[in-house]
Amino acid sequence: MTTIQETTRDEVLAAAARGREAAVVLATTSRATKDAALNAMADALMVHEAAILAANARDVDQSVASGTAAGIVDRLTLNHDRLQDIADALRDVADLPDPVGEVIRGYTLANGLEIRQVRVPFGVVGIVYEARPNVTVDAAGLCLKSGNVALLRGSGSAYNTNKALIDVLGDALETSGLPRDCVVMVPGTSHDSVQYLLTARGLVDVIIPRGGAGLINTVVENSTVPVIETGVGNVHVYLDESAPLQRSIDIIVNSKTQRTSVCNAAETLLVNSASAERLLPGVLAALKDKGVTIHGDDRIRAYCDAAGINFAPATDVDWAAEYYSLDLAAGIVDGLDDALAHIRRWSTGHTEAIVTDSQEAARRFVAGVDSAAVMVNASTRFTDGGEFGFGAEIGISTQKLHARGPMGLPELTSTKYVVVGEGHVRA
């Protein structure tokens, strides 16, 4: 087990204060300097690959020894390919337009005053997250590009990995002429250190939680710093009456099994009763080949028995679950309205998908679903900042203020108004 590292409130506030000072520098840093730093950070990750992977192996071994679920261990684990993907994401961010200074709107009043609304950094962004080392680098890169300091509090189970990553990133920042405190690791691994961060109002401008429902609820309920709430993913795929068989197989298999330990993986399959006999034998056979277990209602059980797929009766816990595993809740519904009613009851507002050949059904589904992303004839795995062309993402927001859906660079900015006159005074 990772040793709990106690820390004091003063230590956490001191880290936030260092970030505050670095934010002053970063707010006026040119795009060229930020992009050069991002590329230097990407290069440094691969130069120091052996040290990073060695630190990660210690965290993984400790997690396995403590009985951590396989899906969580998968999220924690780094290897050459995953580290290369993380480095490439930094380079992708460097290639993206800089949002800072973008004019959202501008106009001239009748009295000659010029008014512009422009994007500006938040300042210091605190990020509280679970055992996902990629978040450490993604957050650092996105915050840097958008002119923000990243104040990072990962889970204790990833402590060695995160420290190694942040040390490497800090060295690269200094080499690029920027303060190493543009990326700051919150000291300590105890719950107290999280609480000190959440109440650092005046030093931290916004908190973004990334993780399971427990972590997110803790942050939302205890923070005195404004929070952008990211959400868990109880994601649904609905096979409509007109859904083509092969398309249905391809989408549900990819949505469920392409990677199970992520928030955009499908957790519930709903099948229109009018297409169940046509679709379910093939769909269940494909899922069986991938090792999926169905947690189903009484109506789908006979199809599961015929397919020989692992089956367990579904309870309310199953309909609400985010499994992070090769488990899938599944049921038969009497049409689109029933599917929408089921989704409204159980969805976490992340992503829902419909497979259909009917434009009318697609329109009704899109209009009836109140989630951050709605897929029509596409895998739910596309709800991702990288897949949306944002580079990396800071998270997927399921709230409606200040951002919703995958959060890229623009979502990491606020705005201010610039008003230019020629000696104007108000009458």
**E strands, 154-310, in order:** 183-185, 206-210, 235-239, 266-272, 293-296
Render pLDDT for 248-295 as a digit per residue (tens, 0 to 9): 999 999 999 999 988 999 999 999 999 999 999 999 999 999 999 999
70-79, 220-229, 342-351, 373-382 — which is least confidently predicted? 70-79
47-53 — which CB contacts under 8 Å span 24+ positions? 48/164, 48/168, 49/80, 49/83, 51/164, 51/168, 52/78, 52/83, 52/161, 52/164, 52/165, 52/168, 53/78, 53/79, 53/80, 53/83
What's 275's domain CATH number? 3.40.309.10
**CB-based contact 262:210 (threshold 8 Å):** no
Domain count for the chain: 2
CA distances from 315 to 17, 295, 369 (A): 48, 8, 23
Give yes or no: residues 182 and 61 share one domain.
yes
What's 122's domain CATH number? 3.40.605.10
CB atoms within 10 A of CB 244: 18
Residue 393 domain-assigned?
no
Give yes or no: residues 322 and 411 share one domain.
no
Q: Is 242 helix (H, G, I), strand (E, B) or coil?
A: coil
Tell me how far apart the 2 most distant CA atoms of the chain are, in Å.
82
User: What mean pLDDT do residues 186-210 have?
Assistant: 95
**CB-based contact 190:36 (threshold 8 Å):** no
Q: Does 402 sit behind a cis peptide bond, omega within 30 degrees of 0 on the bond before it?
A: yes
Closest alpha carbon to 168 in 13, 59, 62, 56: 56
Supply the DSSP string of 25-52, one letter for each residue.
HHHT--HHHHHHHHHHHHHHHHHTHHHH
Supply the DSSP string of 137-195, one letter for each residue.
HHHHHHHHHTT-EEEEE--GGGHHHHHHHHHHHHHHHHHTTS-GGGEEEPS--SHHHHH
Q: Evaluate if residue 5 carries a pLDDT over 90.
A: no
Residue 348 domain-assigned?
yes
Give yes or no: residues 14 and 161 share one domain.
yes
**CB-based contact 235:351 (threshold 8 Å):** yes
pLDDT at residue 1, rounded to an integer: 47
CB atoms within 10 A of CB 220: 14
Give yes or no: residues 117 and 73 share one domain.
yes
Tokens matching residue 29 = 């840093």
Tokens matching residue 12 = 């956490």
Render pLDDT for 145-158 as a digit per residue (tens, 0 to 9): 999 999 999 999 99
Cα(35)–Cα(4) distance, integer angstroms = 36
- Evaluate the CA torsion angle 86, 87, 92, 96 in order and state its sign: positive
Give yes or no: residues 226 and 245 share one domain.
no
User: What mean pLDDT do residues 242-246 have?
Assistant: 98
User: What mean pLDDT do residues 14-39 have?
Assistant: 98
State pTM to two decimals: 0.86
- Evaluate the CA torsion angle 85, 53, 148, 180 in order and state its sign: negative
**Domain span at residue 153?**
9-230+407-420
Backbone angles phi, psi at 105, to 5 degrees: -155, 155
Residue 295 domain-assigned?
yes
Render pLDDT for 117-136 as a digit per residue (tens, 0 to 9): 999 999 999 999 988 899 99
Give yes or no: residues 317 and 218 share one domain.
no
Give yes or no: residues 16 and 45 share one domain.
yes
- Evaluate the CA torsion angle 255, 344, 399, 70 in order and state its sign: negative
Give yes or no: residues 242 and 213 share one domain.
no
Per the prediction, the chain carries an average pLDDT of 95
**CB-based contact 232:263 (threshold 8 Å):** yes
Give yes or no: residues 56 and 104 share one domain.
yes
**CB-based contact 265:255 (threshold 8 Å):** yes
Residue 426 domain-assigned?
no
Residue 337 domain-assigned?
yes
Give yes or no: residues 71 and 176 share one domain.
yes
**CB-based contact 405:349 (threshold 8 Å):** no
DSSP letter assigned to residue 97: P
**CB-based contact 412:122 (threshold 8 Å):** yes
User: What mean pLDDT do residues 13-35 have?
Assistant: 97
Q: Evaluate if residue 403 carries a pLDDT over 80.
A: yes
Give yes or no: residues 17 and 63 share one domain.
yes
**CB-based contact 329:269 (threshold 8 Å):** yes
Residue 129 domain-assigned?
yes
Cα(366)–Cα(388) distance, integer angstroms = 18
Residue 202 domain-assigned?
yes
Closest alpha carbon to 129 in 63, 214, 44: 214
Size of the chain in residues: 427
Residue 392 domain-assigned?
no
Give yes or no: residues 298 and 150 share one domain.
no
Closest alpha carbon to 194 in 160, 220, 164, 213: 220
